[in-house]
C-alpha cells in the first residue's frame, strides 16, 4: 500500500489544494523530529511557512546565541520539500491524483544551497520557499549591493537575457 501524505481526502469534482496543503502541514507537524525541534509548518496569508522557536539545543554558538547552521539548513530543506509537494498537488486532477500522490512520496530536495549572510539570532525563525525547477525555470543568482543590502541593479542588468521570464528579489532580513 502506498502511504499518502494527504491522509483520506474526500475528492469532489476538483482537487481542493487548500485542504491538501493543510494535510501536508499536519503530516510534517506530526513528525517526531519536528516536534522535538519545535518546528511547525503552517499557512499564513496563503503562503507556506516553516516556523521554528529558538531552543537551547538548536544553538550552535553559545557565546553569541546563534542558531546552528545545520538547523538553518534543516528548516530550509523542510520548507523546500513541502512547497515542492504542494506544487505537484496544484497540478493534480481527480483523475491523476493517485499518480501525483506517488510522485509526491518520492520528492526530495536534492539541490539545496544555503548562503549564510547573517547569523541566526532571535526568539523564532520563519522560512518560506518558492518552486522554480518544477516549473521548468532555471534560477540565475544575482548579488546584493553590500552598502544597502538590497538587490544590486547592476547584477540584475547583467543577468537579464532574452530567456528571462521573471526577476525574483529575495527578502533579506527586513530590507
Q: Whole-model pTM above 0.85?
A: no
DSSP output for 36-82: HTTEEEEEETTEEEEEEE--GGGEEETTTTEE-HHHHHHHHHHHHHH
Give the pLDDT of residue 73: 85
What tens digit of pLDDT does each residue of 32-82 get?
988 998 899 998 888 888 999 999 999 999 999 998 888 888 888 888 888
What tens digit of pLDDT does each residue of 79-89 get?
888 888 888 88
Amino acid at each position: 500500500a502506498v502511504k499518502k501524505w494527504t491522509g483520506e481526502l474526500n475528492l469532489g469534482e476538483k482537487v481542493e489544494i487548500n485542504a491538501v496543503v493543510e494535510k501536508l502541514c499536519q503530516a510534517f507537524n506530526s513528525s517526531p523530529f519536528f516536534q522535538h525541534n519545535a518546528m511547525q509548518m503552517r499557512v499564513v496569508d496563503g503562503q507556506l511557512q516553516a516556523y521554528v522557536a529558538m531552543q537551547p539545543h538548536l544553538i550552535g554558538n553559545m557565546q553569541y546565541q546563534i542558531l546552528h547552521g545545520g538547523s538553518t539548513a534543516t528548516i530550509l530543506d523542510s520548507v523546500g520539500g513541502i512547497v515542492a509537494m504542494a506544487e505537484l498537488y496544484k497540478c493534480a486532477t481527480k483523475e491523476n491524483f493517485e499518480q501525483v500522490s506517488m510522485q509526491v512520496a518520492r520528492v526530495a530536495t536534492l539541490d539545496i544551497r544555503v548562503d549564510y549572510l547573517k547569523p541566526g539570532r532571535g526568539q523564532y525563525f520563519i522560512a518560506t520557499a518558492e518552486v522554480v525547477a518544477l516549473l521548468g525555470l532555471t534560477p540565475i543568482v544575482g548579488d546584493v549591493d553590500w552598502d544597502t543590502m538590497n538587490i544590486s541593479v547592476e547584477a540584475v542588468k547583467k543577468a537579464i537575457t532574452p530567456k528571462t521570464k521573471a526577476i525574483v528579489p529575495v527578502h533579506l532580513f527586513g530590507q
